[in-house]
Structure 1
Amino acid sequence: MAQLSDIIAWCNQTLKAHEFRDYAPNGLQIEGTAEVRKILCAVTASQDAIDAAISAKADLLLVHHGYFWKGEPYPITGMRGNRIKSLIKHDISLVGYHLPLDSHPTLGNNAAIAEILELENIEALDPSERNPIGNIGYLNKPISPQDFKAFLSERLGFDAIHLDAQKTNIQKVGFCTGAAQDFITKAAEQNCDAYISGEVSERTFYEAKELDVHYYACGHHATERYGVQRLAKAISEQFNIEYSYFELNNPI
């Protein structure tokens, strides 16, 4: 058993949450019981994830995509109201970390992608960032764009969408998980052969062609299922409490 306040303080410090300007609050979003015996983690605080936390008798739901995003309406009604009501009724805390969990050099989503894809010599996609959100890595040998698509699809469990460019080989790879398709311009500035993110926009087709950077959309969920698991495991080891992961395979 651990104190909720201690867990939040440790996470905030570990992830350097105060150093990020984000689209939603990082850390404790809905306060439940003060004592935590079990954590359930999930990518998104959907009703399915909440129901799984209730069934597991979890005290804390740890997510990458929580609530209270900029631009959301203030009234807590409808779908969001039902979700929050469920959490409060069962005294379950909601804890979310967004950009800090993308960026962390060992626990983060991008760090996990680098390991899964066996990328080497990791560096910042944008060298001006204090805590880089995206990264660059290198394959140990050049690979064709078609073979790289097959490799990504196999490693990430997602049928990657490939937007073609002129380059015939890929070795220098930019990447940023989730909905970071517009960072393809940063990848081009760094002379990357390819750029990986989760989602894709209509405009990305033309950008890949004109910037000459192969683009691979590998799924928002599929690229961001790792950070919450790594963070939950680290909390479990730090505080000697139980954790589990809820997977709802979102095809987007």
Structure 2
Amino acid sequence: MSSSPTAIDSSTLLAAFNAELQPERFKDYGPNGLQVEGKPRIGKIVSGVTASRALIDAAIEVGADALFVHHGLFWRGQDGTVTGWMKQRLQRLLAHDINLFAYHLPLDAHPTLGNNAQLGARLGLRATGRFGEQELGFIGRPADGVPLTDAAALALRLEKVLNRPVTQVGQAQEAIQNIAWCSGGAQGYFEAAIAAGAQAFITGEISEPQAHLARECGVLFFACGHHATERYGAPALAAHVAASLGVAHQFIDIDNPA
């Protein structure tokens, strides 16, 4: 958390986010950018993973002028009504004049500050390539050049960094050096990771087909939590932009077991 008397126009902040994240490059599941318009001048940004009511309430409590999140309010396939939980979230944002900025796939993909880049850095992995649809997946090796001895060593590293248990499917037949990862609900990228030469794949969730693929293809699958794997991009990107513009930033992590 930092403090600053500086305030900037909301349009300036939007332009800075767009310049970093280039949302026009992505085909996404909802709108990227400014999802809810608030006050025209912004002095404090709060970042978080999801625009939940708990995060909105926490942002109100600390005097935020803007929220920057990975999971916004609007998604393809919603019925478009403003009732129930949607009304409650929007009501709070509008009553306190808080701008909501949300970036989904662009935040996953950013080469240094995004969810995948930041997850890899924390896990001690150095990316050497990209894979999958829209090249969201990262593939690389341990940054220190030392292969992990076995599946247990990788599982231990994941649990230590993410501070939660992980689900492992499959067993390594040799030392692990080619590791692919894609944060959140990227279990559908598993086949692309296998094709890219991965010995292990790290993501947030697992569905029924991936367990069979892991066993049949001899590639480890680690499901480490959707929220747990996606809580690093939003604060990294927001902190970078806030510092460049001279405004305050605070990350608020709302616990989520998923």
TM-score by length of 2: 0.93
Q: How many residues align?
A: 249
Q: Sequence identity of aligned pairs in percent?
A: 39
Question: For residue 141 of structure 1, what is the amino acid of its counterpart?
Answer: V
**Runs (4+) off by over 6 Å:** none
Instruction: Return the alpha-carbon distance in structure 1 between the equivalents of residues 128 and 65 of structure 2.
Output: 36
Pairing 1:138–2:141 present: yes
Q: Secondary structure at the match of 1:171?
A: coil
Aligned to 1:42: 48
- Which deviates the most, 206-215 or 174-183? 206-215
Aligned alpha-carbon RMSD (Å): 1.2
1:142 deviation in Å? 2.3
1:121 deviation in Å? 4.5
Tell me the alpha carbon deviations over residues 37-58 of structure 1, each in whole angstroms, 9 at most, x when there is no partner: 1111110000000000110110
Tell me the alpha carbon deviations over residues 10-53 of structure 1, each in whole angstroms, 9 at most, x when there is no partner: 11121111111100100000000000011111100000000001
Instruction: Return the alpha-carbon distance in structure 2 between the equivalents of residues 212 and 125 of structure 1.
Output: 19
Question: For residue 220 of structure 2, what is the amino acid of its counterpart?
Answer: H
Instruction: Return the alpha-carbon distance in structure 2 between the equivalents of residues 179 and 194 of structure 1.
Output: 16
Question: For residue 112 of structure 2, what is the amino acid of its counterpart?
Answer: T
Pairing 1:247–2:253 present: yes
Cα distance change on mapping 1:121 and 1:180 into 2, 3 Å: closer
Q: Secondary structure at the match of 1:142?
A: coil
Aligned to 2:237: 231
Instruction: Return the alpha-carbon distance in structure 1 between the equivalents of residues 172 and 244 of structure 2.
Output: 48
> Structure 1 stretches of 5 or more lacking a match?
none
Structural mapping, 1:46-65, within 5 Å: 46-65=52-71
Instruction: Return the alpha-carbon distance in structure 2 between the equivalents of residues 145 and 166 of structure 1.
Output: 6
In 2, are the aligned partners of 1:36 and 1:60 still within 8 Å (CA)? yes
1:233 deviation in Å? 0.6
Higher relative contact order (CA 8 A, sep 6+): 2
In 1, are the aligned partners of 2:140 and 2:179 still within 8 Å (CA)? yes
Aligned to 2:117: 111
Pairing 1:28–2:31 present: no
Give 2:92's match in structure 1, choosing from 72, 86, 97: 86
> Structure 2 stretches of 5 or more lacking a match?
1-6
